[in-house]
């Protein structure tokens, strides 16, 4: 603003000096002097008006944004999938930084429990790492897909097997294949690790393979982190986790020759992928101002960058 004022004053001063110089040339150039002075004054006036209008528009926009931020206050509760913990925590932190008077809390107790919480009114949002079931939708739960997650099949780092077919993977989890030598690996028993009943990751994994209630687990663990730790420390083990939590403590297998990458998931060549759902009771138009603002943030460019930053795939 100060720079604009200085520029305007400089223009006006220049115009006045120019007019004075012309006036000093004598009466013969009087008409020219008058015209120059008028033109200079008009130019300066126009510049001042334009600058004032621009400054006013900017100030109005900034004021509106500040007022919107100031108007948002209160709390939002999310309950659900442990697989969505990294995403939900990042979203909570980013949204609270943008709106300091808003508190976003998240609990991670499984997808089924999250949907149940939103239906019984104890949570604003139920996080689910699977598509909603028909019976959940019939009770009023609405499926709001916010990102896509790949499911990685992992083994301990020393395992010599690098690739499985869909059929081989299904046979491992149903117990038809129980030794790694039958898959081209060493002569060692397969330790089948999975998630607990009600887990969104388990539900999606079994559904994608057509193995609902048919898997035979050696260990059923209650979190993504527990599966990672078990597989990393147990020779001969195999498990499944969200793609975004992969690290070098485990080895991710290719499936049908495709690596578990965003590009392969989008191309459809890697078949183990599932949606991240933020379920609400009723559609978004029926939600509180705060919940609507949270979803609006996710649909923004900032929201898209946040989704990518935690290793997930945007839905667009």
**Mind listing the domains of the chain with CATH numbers?**
74-148+275-310 (3.40.190.10), 150-273 (3.40.190.10)
pLDDT, mean over the chain: 83
Which of 222-241 are b and which e, b meaning 16 or more Cβ less than 10 Å from the residue's Cβ? ebbebbbebbbebebbbbbb
Provide the sign of the torsion angle of the four alpha carbons 11, 12, 17, 19, taken in this order. Answer: positive
pLDDT digits (tens, 9 = 90+) for 233-281: 999 999 999 888 899 999 999 999 999 998 999 888 999 999 999 999 9
Span 96-138, pLDDT tens digits: 999 999 999 999 999 999 999 999 999 999 999 999 999 999 9
Per-residue pLDDT for 211 more than 80? yes
pLDDT tens-digit map of 138-154: 999 999 999 998 999 99
């Amino acid at each position: 603003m100060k720079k604009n004022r200085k520029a305007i004053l400089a223009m006006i001063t220049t115009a006045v000096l120019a007019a004075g110089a012309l006036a000093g040339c004598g009466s013969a150039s009087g008409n020219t002097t008058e015209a120059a002075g008028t033109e200079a004054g008009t130019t300066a006036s126009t510049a001042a008006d334009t600058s004032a209008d621009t400054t006013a528009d900017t100030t109005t926009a900034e004021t509106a944004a500040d007022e919107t931020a100031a108007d948002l206050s209160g709390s939002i509760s999310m309950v659900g999938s442990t697989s969505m913990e990294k995403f939900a925590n990042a979203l909570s932190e980013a949204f609270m930084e943008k709106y300091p008077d808003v508190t976003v809390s998240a609990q991670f107790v499984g997808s089924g429990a999250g949907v149940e919480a939103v239906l019984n009114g104890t949570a604003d949002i139920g996080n689910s790492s699977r598509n909603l079931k028909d019976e959940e939708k019939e009770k009023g739960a609405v499926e709001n897909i916010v990102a896509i997650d790949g499911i990685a099949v992992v083994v301990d780092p020393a395992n010599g097997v690098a690739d499985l077919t869909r059929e081989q993977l299904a046979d491992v989890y149903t117990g038809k294949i129980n030794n790694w030598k039958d898959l081209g690996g060493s002569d060692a028993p397969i330790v089948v690790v999975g998630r607990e009943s009600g887990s969104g990751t388990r539900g999606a994994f079994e559904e994608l393979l057509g193995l609902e209630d048919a898997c035979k687990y050696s260990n059923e663990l209650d979190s993504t982190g527990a599966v990672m730790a078990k597989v990393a420390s147990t020779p001969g083990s195999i498990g499944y986790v969200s793609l975004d939590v992969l690290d070098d403590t485990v080895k991710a297998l290719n499936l049908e020759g495709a690596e578990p990458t965003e590009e392969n998931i989008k191309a459809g060549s890697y078949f183990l992928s599932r949606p991240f759902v933020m379920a609400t009771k009723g559609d978004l138009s029926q939600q509180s101002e705060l919940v609507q603002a949270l979803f609006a943030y996710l649909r923004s460019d900032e929201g898209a960058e946040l989704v990518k930053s935690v290793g997930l795939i945007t839905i667009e």
